Structure 1
Amino acid sequence: MPQFIASRCQALLDVLGRLSWLAPLVVRLFFGYFWAETGWAKLHNLDGAIERFVGWGIPFPAFSATFSAGAEFLGGVFLMLGLLTRVTSFALIINMIVAIAFVAIKNVHGFDEFIELDEFVYMLIFFWLIIAGPGPVSLDTSVNRWLGIRSPSTR
Protein backbone atom coordinates (compact mmCIF):
# COMPACT_ATOMS: atom_id res chain seq x y z
CA MET A 1 0.00 0.00 0.00
CA PRO A 2 2.73 2.59 0.80
CA GLN A 3 4.35 1.88 -2.59
CA PHE A 4 1.00 2.49 -4.34
CA ILE A 5 0.54 5.82 -2.54
CA ALA A 6 4.13 6.82 -3.31
CA SER A 7 3.70 6.00 -7.01
CA ARG A 8 0.44 8.00 -7.18
CA CYS A 9 2.11 10.94 -5.45
CA GLN A 10 5.05 10.72 -7.84
CA ALA A 11 2.70 10.62 -10.83
CA LEU A 12 0.90 13.72 -9.57
CA LEU A 13 4.20 15.54 -8.96
CA ASP A 14 5.35 14.63 -12.46
CA VAL A 15 2.17 16.10 -13.99
CA LEU A 16 2.51 19.26 -11.90
CA GLY A 17 6.16 19.52 -12.91
CA ARG A 18 5.20 19.40 -16.59
CA LEU A 19 2.65 22.18 -15.91
CA SER A 20 5.07 24.45 -14.03
CA TRP A 21 5.01 26.92 -16.93
CA LEU A 22 1.31 27.55 -16.25
CA ALA A 23 1.61 29.21 -12.81
CA PRO A 24 3.65 32.28 -13.83
CA LEU A 25 1.55 32.67 -16.98
CA VAL A 26 -1.76 32.65 -15.08
CA VAL A 27 -0.43 35.02 -12.39
CA ARG A 28 0.95 37.41 -15.01
CA LEU A 29 -2.24 37.40 -17.09
CA PHE A 30 -4.69 37.96 -14.24
CA PHE A 31 -2.50 40.21 -12.11
CA GLY A 32 -1.43 42.17 -15.19
CA TYR A 33 -5.04 42.63 -16.25
CA PHE A 34 -5.89 43.87 -12.76
CA TRP A 35 -3.17 46.54 -12.95
CA ALA A 36 -3.91 47.52 -16.54
CA GLU A 37 -7.57 48.00 -15.64
CA THR A 38 -6.71 50.01 -12.51
CA GLY A 39 -4.33 52.25 -14.45
CA TRP A 40 -6.80 52.65 -17.31
CA ALA A 41 -9.51 53.79 -14.88
CA LYS A 42 -7.15 56.37 -13.33
CA LEU A 43 -6.06 57.62 -16.75
CA HIS A 44 -9.69 58.10 -17.79
CA ASN A 45 -10.55 59.99 -14.62
CA LEU A 46 -7.25 61.72 -14.01
CA ASP A 47 -8.91 64.73 -12.33
CA GLY A 48 -10.51 62.40 -9.79
CA ALA A 49 -7.23 60.56 -9.25
CA ILE A 50 -5.37 63.85 -8.72
CA GLU A 51 -8.06 64.94 -6.26
CA ARG A 52 -7.60 61.71 -4.27
CA PHE A 53 -3.82 62.17 -4.31
CA VAL A 54 -4.26 65.71 -2.95
CA GLY A 55 -6.53 64.39 -0.18
CA TRP A 56 -4.01 61.70 0.72
CA GLY A 57 -1.21 64.27 0.96
CA ILE A 58 0.92 62.69 -1.76
CA PRO A 59 3.61 65.14 -2.94
CA PHE A 60 3.24 66.58 -6.45
CA PRO A 61 -0.27 65.13 -6.79
CA ALA A 62 -0.77 65.89 -10.50
CA PHE A 63 2.56 64.35 -11.48
CA SER A 64 2.22 61.49 -8.98
CA ALA A 65 -1.31 60.54 -10.07
CA THR A 66 -0.38 60.66 -13.76
CA PHE A 67 2.80 58.67 -13.16
CA SER A 68 1.00 56.12 -10.99
CA ALA A 69 -1.81 55.67 -13.52
CA GLY A 70 0.66 55.26 -16.37
CA ALA A 71 2.85 52.87 -14.41
CA GLU A 72 -0.15 50.74 -13.47
CA PHE A 73 -1.58 50.67 -16.99
CA LEU A 74 1.69 50.04 -18.85
CA GLY A 75 2.94 47.78 -16.06
CA GLY A 76 -0.20 45.68 -16.32
CA VAL A 77 0.13 45.38 -20.09
CA PHE A 78 3.84 44.50 -19.78
CA LEU A 79 3.05 41.87 -17.13
CA MET A 80 0.40 40.27 -19.34
CA LEU A 81 2.91 40.12 -22.20
CA GLY A 82 5.75 38.99 -19.98
CA LEU A 83 7.80 41.95 -21.22
CA LEU A 84 10.34 43.56 -18.90
CA THR A 85 8.66 41.61 -16.14
CA ARG A 86 11.32 42.09 -13.48
CA VAL A 87 11.79 45.82 -14.15
CA THR A 88 8.03 46.35 -14.26
CA SER A 89 7.54 44.45 -11.01
CA PHE A 90 10.21 46.55 -9.32
CA ALA A 91 8.56 49.80 -10.51
CA LEU A 92 5.18 48.64 -9.24
CA ILE A 93 6.71 47.71 -5.87
CA ILE A 94 7.83 51.34 -5.61
CA ASN A 95 4.26 52.39 -6.44
CA MET A 96 2.97 50.15 -3.61
CA ILE A 97 5.54 51.52 -1.15
CA VAL A 98 4.24 55.03 -1.87
CA ALA A 99 0.64 53.80 -1.46
CA ILE A 100 1.49 52.25 1.90
CA ALA A 101 3.57 55.18 3.13
CA PHE A 102 1.07 57.91 2.26
CA VAL A 103 -2.33 56.21 2.36
CA ALA A 104 -2.69 52.72 3.82
CA ILE A 105 -0.41 53.11 6.85
CA LYS A 106 -2.80 55.66 8.34
CA ASN A 107 -5.28 52.87 9.04
CA VAL A 108 -2.75 50.35 10.37
CA HIS A 109 -2.55 49.82 14.12
CA GLY A 110 -0.45 46.68 14.33
CA PHE A 111 1.63 44.12 12.51
CA ASP A 112 -1.36 41.92 11.67
CA GLU A 113 -3.12 44.82 9.96
CA PHE A 114 0.08 45.69 8.10
CA ILE A 115 0.58 42.24 6.60
CA GLU A 116 -3.09 42.12 5.66
CA LEU A 117 -2.80 45.25 3.50
CA ASP A 118 -3.65 44.58 -0.13
CA GLU A 119 -0.59 46.62 -1.13
CA PHE A 120 1.66 44.34 0.90
CA VAL A 121 0.22 41.26 -0.79
CA TYR A 122 0.71 42.92 -4.19
CA MET A 123 4.34 43.61 -3.27
CA LEU A 124 4.84 39.94 -2.44
CA ILE A 125 3.49 38.92 -5.85
CA PHE A 126 5.75 41.45 -7.57
CA PHE A 127 8.67 40.15 -5.49
CA TRP A 128 7.88 36.60 -6.62
CA LEU A 129 7.85 37.76 -10.26
CA ILE A 130 11.22 39.48 -9.77
CA ILE A 131 12.80 36.34 -8.31
CA ALA A 132 10.99 33.65 -10.37
CA GLY A 133 10.78 35.62 -13.60
CA PRO A 134 7.99 35.60 -16.14
CA GLY A 135 8.15 31.91 -16.98
CA PRO A 136 8.76 30.26 -20.32
CA VAL A 137 5.59 31.60 -21.98
CA SER A 138 6.61 35.26 -22.15
CA LEU A 139 8.17 37.81 -24.43
CA ASP A 140 11.08 38.10 -21.98
CA THR A 141 11.91 34.43 -22.52
CA SER A 142 11.58 34.76 -26.30
CA VAL A 143 13.83 37.82 -26.37
CA ASN A 144 16.37 36.15 -24.09
CA ARG A 145 16.41 33.07 -26.33
CA TRP A 146 16.92 35.29 -29.39
CA LEU A 147 19.80 37.08 -27.62
CA GLY A 148 21.30 33.78 -26.48
CA ILE A 149 20.68 34.49 -22.78
CA ARG A 150 19.88 31.35 -20.82
CA SER A 151 17.32 31.48 -18.05
CA PRO A 152 18.56 30.53 -14.56
CA SER A 153 16.72 27.20 -14.73
CA THR A 154 18.68 26.09 -17.81
CA ARG A 155 22.17 26.86 -16.49
Structure 2
Amino acid sequence: MQTTPLLARMLTFLDDHAWIGPLLLRLVFGYFWLETGWAKLHNLAFFTERFIEWGIPWPALSAAVCAGTEFIGGVLMMLGLATRLTMLPMIFNMLVALAVVVLPGVSTLDEFVELDEVLYVAVFVWLLVAGPGRASLDHLIARRVKAGTPALA
Protein backbone atom coordinates (compact mmCIF):
# COMPACT_ATOMS: atom_id res chain seq x y z
CA MET A 1 0.00 0.00 0.00
CA GLN A 2 1.36 3.38 -0.98
CA THR A 3 1.09 6.17 1.56
CA THR A 4 0.61 9.81 0.85
CA PRO A 5 3.37 12.22 1.90
CA LEU A 6 1.16 13.63 4.67
CA LEU A 7 0.33 10.18 6.02
CA ALA A 8 4.00 9.19 5.83
CA ARG A 9 4.99 12.30 7.81
CA MET A 10 2.29 11.63 10.39
CA LEU A 11 3.43 8.02 10.82
CA THR A 12 7.05 9.13 11.14
CA PHE A 13 6.04 11.72 13.75
CA LEU A 14 4.13 9.08 15.72
CA ASP A 15 7.04 6.64 15.51
CA ASP A 16 9.47 9.34 16.69
CA HIS A 17 7.21 10.15 19.64
CA ALA A 18 6.18 6.60 20.59
CA TRP A 19 7.80 7.11 24.00
CA ILE A 20 4.94 9.43 25.02
CA GLY A 21 2.38 6.60 25.25
CA PRO A 22 4.21 4.49 27.86
CA LEU A 23 5.22 7.62 29.78
CA LEU A 24 1.66 8.92 29.95
CA LEU A 25 0.34 5.51 30.99
CA ARG A 26 3.00 5.13 33.70
CA LEU A 27 2.43 8.63 35.10
CA VAL A 28 -1.36 8.41 35.27
CA PHE A 29 -1.59 4.76 36.30
CA GLY A 30 1.32 5.09 38.72
CA TYR A 31 -0.25 8.11 40.38
CA PHE A 32 -3.53 6.18 40.73
CA TRP A 33 -1.73 3.39 42.61
CA LEU A 34 0.37 5.78 44.67
CA GLU A 35 -2.82 7.52 45.74
CA THR A 36 -4.77 4.35 46.58
CA GLY A 37 -1.80 2.92 48.48
CA TRP A 38 -1.36 6.17 50.41
CA ALA A 39 -5.05 6.21 51.38
CA LYS A 40 -4.89 2.60 52.57
CA LEU A 41 -1.68 3.21 54.54
CA HIS A 42 -3.39 6.09 56.33
CA ASN A 43 -6.50 4.05 57.13
CA LEU A 44 -5.01 0.64 57.86
CA ALA A 45 -7.49 -0.16 60.64
CA PHE A 46 -10.45 0.10 58.26
CA PHE A 47 -8.56 -1.70 55.50
CA THR A 48 -7.60 -4.50 57.93
CA GLU A 49 -11.29 -4.90 58.86
CA ARG A 50 -12.11 -5.38 55.18
CA PHE A 51 -9.43 -8.08 54.94
CA ILE A 52 -11.00 -9.80 57.96
CA GLU A 53 -14.44 -9.67 56.24
CA TRP A 54 -12.96 -11.18 53.07
CA GLY A 55 -11.26 -13.96 55.04
CA ILE A 56 -7.74 -13.05 53.96
CA PRO A 57 -5.11 -14.70 56.19
CA TRP A 58 -3.07 -12.50 58.53
CA PRO A 59 -5.33 -9.52 57.80
CA ALA A 60 -3.24 -6.80 59.49
CA LEU A 61 -0.01 -7.91 57.80
CA SER A 62 -1.74 -8.58 54.47
CA ALA A 63 -3.44 -5.17 54.49
CA ALA A 64 -0.16 -3.39 55.24
CA VAL A 65 1.72 -5.32 52.55
CA CYS A 66 -1.07 -4.67 50.02
CA ALA A 67 -1.15 -0.94 50.79
CA GLY A 68 2.64 -0.68 50.71
CA THR A 69 2.80 -2.59 47.44
CA GLU A 70 0.33 -0.19 45.84
CA PHE A 71 2.08 2.92 47.19
CA ILE A 72 5.66 1.90 46.40
CA GLY A 73 4.57 0.27 43.14
CA GLY A 74 2.90 3.52 42.09
CA VAL A 75 6.02 5.56 42.85
CA LEU A 76 8.30 3.14 40.98
CA MET A 77 5.88 2.97 38.05
CA MET A 78 5.85 6.75 37.72
CA LEU A 79 9.64 6.86 37.79
CA GLY A 80 9.99 3.92 35.44
CA LEU A 81 12.37 2.34 37.94
CA ALA A 82 12.55 -1.44 38.40
CA THR A 83 9.36 -1.46 36.35
CA ARG A 84 9.30 -5.10 35.29
CA LEU A 85 10.20 -6.33 38.76
CA THR A 86 7.58 -4.02 40.29
CA MET A 87 4.83 -5.45 38.09
CA LEU A 88 5.16 -8.91 39.68
CA PRO A 89 3.82 -7.92 43.13
CA MET A 90 1.31 -5.56 41.51
CA ILE A 91 -0.05 -8.43 39.40
CA PHE A 92 -0.12 -10.74 42.43
CA ASN A 93 -1.98 -8.07 44.44
CA MET A 94 -4.67 -7.77 41.77
CA LEU A 95 -4.97 -11.53 41.23
CA VAL A 96 -5.65 -11.95 44.96
CA ALA A 97 -8.25 -9.18 44.82
CA LEU A 98 -9.86 -10.84 41.82
CA ALA A 99 -9.88 -14.34 43.29
CA VAL A 100 -10.95 -13.48 46.82
CA VAL A 101 -13.09 -10.36 46.55
CA VAL A 102 -14.43 -9.87 43.04
CA LEU A 103 -14.80 -13.19 41.19
CA PRO A 104 -17.24 -14.79 43.67
CA GLY A 105 -19.85 -12.26 42.49
CA VAL A 106 -19.18 -12.70 38.76
CA SER A 107 -21.25 -15.12 36.69
CA THR A 108 -20.75 -14.13 33.04
CA LEU A 109 -17.87 -13.36 30.70
CA ASP A 110 -19.33 -9.87 30.13
CA GLU A 111 -19.21 -9.16 33.87
CA PHE A 112 -15.64 -10.49 34.03
CA VAL A 113 -14.20 -8.36 31.23
CA GLU A 114 -15.88 -5.25 32.66
CA LEU A 115 -14.05 -5.58 35.98
CA ASP A 116 -11.55 -2.84 36.78
CA GLU A 117 -9.19 -5.43 38.22
CA VAL A 118 -8.99 -7.23 34.87
CA LEU A 119 -7.94 -3.98 33.22
CA TYR A 120 -5.38 -3.38 35.96
CA VAL A 121 -3.85 -6.84 35.47
CA ALA A 122 -3.76 -6.31 31.70
CA VAL A 123 -1.86 -3.01 32.09
CA PHE A 124 0.54 -4.56 34.60
CA VAL A 125 1.22 -7.47 32.25
CA TRP A 126 1.79 -5.05 29.37
CA LEU A 127 4.34 -3.10 31.44
CA LEU A 128 5.97 -6.37 32.52
CA VAL A 129 6.36 -7.53 28.91
CA ALA A 130 6.97 -4.22 27.11
CA GLY A 131 8.87 -2.38 29.83
CA PRO A 132 8.54 1.28 30.80
CA GLY A 133 9.65 2.85 27.52
CA ARG A 134 12.42 5.31 26.68
CA ALA A 135 11.34 8.04 29.10
CA SER A 136 12.19 6.07 32.23
CA LEU A 137 14.96 5.61 34.75
CA ASP A 138 15.17 1.95 33.69
CA HIS A 139 16.02 3.06 30.15
CA LEU A 140 18.57 5.61 31.36
CA ILE A 141 20.27 3.06 33.61
CA ALA A 142 20.30 0.40 30.88
CA ARG A 143 21.78 2.87 28.40
CA ARG A 144 24.54 3.85 30.83
CA VAL A 145 25.33 0.23 31.70
CA LYS A 146 25.47 -0.68 28.03
CA ALA A 147 27.84 2.22 27.36
CA GLY A 148 30.08 1.08 30.19
CA THR A 149 29.33 4.12 32.33
CA PRO A 150 28.38 3.46 35.96
CA ALA A 151 24.59 3.68 36.15
CA LEU A 152 24.47 6.08 39.06
CA ALA A 153 27.59 8.11 38.32
Question: In the alignment, what sits opposite 2:32?
Answer: 34
In structure 1, the gaps of 5 or more residues are: 150-155
Deviation, 1:79, is: 0.2
Q: SS of the residue aligned with 1:123? A: helix
Match of 1:116 among 108, 114, 117: 114
Question: In the alignment, what sits opposite 1:142?
Answer: 140
Deviation, 1:44, is: 0.2
Deviation, 1:8, is: 2.1
Deviation, 1:7, is: 2.3
Deviation, 1:65, is: 0.4
Question: In the alignment, what sits opposite 1:7?
Answer: 5
Deviation, 1:90, is: 1.6
Take 2:91 and 2:113, find their aligned partners in 1: how far apart are those partners? 15
Runs in 1 of length 4+ with deviation above 4 angstroms?
none
Deviation, 1:110, is: 1.1
Take 1:62 and 1:88, find their aligned partners in 2: how far apart are those partners? 22
Take 2:55 and 2:104, find their aligned partners in 1: how far apart are those partners? 11
Note the alpha carbon deviations across 1:71-121, whole angstroms, 9 max, x for none: 000000000000010111121000000000100112201111111110110
Take 1:145 and 1:6, find their aligned partners in 2: how far apart are those partners? 35
Q: How many residues align?
A: 147
Take 2:102 and 2:109, find their aligned partners in 1: how far apart are those partners? 13
Question: In the alignment, what sits opposite 1:63?
Answer: 61
Normalization by structure 1: what TM-score?
0.90
CA RMSD of the aligned region, Å? 1.5
Counterpart of 1:31, as a letter, is F
Counterpart of 1:58, as a letter, is I
1:49 aligns with 2:62: no
Take 2:5 and 2:110, find their aligned partners in 1: how far apart are those partners? 41
Counterpart of 1:49, as a letter, is F
Question: In the alignment, what sits opposite 1:76?
Answer: 74
